Amino acid sequence: MSAIAIAVDDRRWSAVPDLRRVCRRAARAALRSESADRPITLLLADDATLRDLNRRFRAVDTPTNVLAFPSGEDDALDGGAAPLGDVALAFDSVAREARDQGKTLDAHLCHLIVHGVLHLQGHDHQRDDEADAMEAVEIAVLARLGIANPYAPVVRADVR
């Protein structure tokens, strides 16, 4: 099974009970068998960090919720398996989206970890057909974790 390193750079992530277990469970659920032995790193940071990464590596000067950085096959460490890559998440964006979408923080975090790990494995959503395929995999993985379809419309009761 893949080694999953977790770096927590923002203490606010402690709002997620059993944070490391939640992260590892989501990442493992998303790993395909051919990727299962390749280590990954999850960076739990903030909007400022993700904005900096987004600006440096994508030339987009805004924060974002999740970024994935796939490693190359030739990036093997000490003769072991090449790392699959790194996934970085921004607490500010993830917490705001969870609140705005009526989701729990841990469920939204799981969704974005799954999303990022799928990117490490070559999934993309640049074209509609790619997006549909990636979303279908996300929905299936999250269902196995007991998390509702994140793309389903949210029905909110009108409270007066």
pLDDT of residue 35: 76
pLDDT of residue 73: 65
Helix (H), strand (E) at residue 118: helix 105-120
Widest CA span of the chain, in angstroms?
Answer: 63
Q: Which CATH number fits domain 4-144: 3.40.50.720, 3.40.50.740, 3.40.50.11740, 3.40.390.30?
A: 3.40.390.30
Q: How many helices (H) and strands (E) does the chain have?
A: 5, 4
Helix (H), strand (E) at residue 30: helix 19-30
Contact status, residue 35 vs residue 70, Cβ threshold 8 Å: no
Per-residue pLDDT of the chain (160 residues; tens, 9 = 90+): 579 999 999 999 999 999 999 999 999 999 986 677 889 999 999 999 999 999 999 999 999 999 999 997 665 666 677 899 999 999 999 999 999 999 999 999 999 999 999 999 999 888 888 889 999 999 999 999 999 999 988 666 665 5
Within 10 Å of residue 108's Cβ, how many Cβ atoms?
Answer: 24
Sequence spans of domains, the chain? 4-144
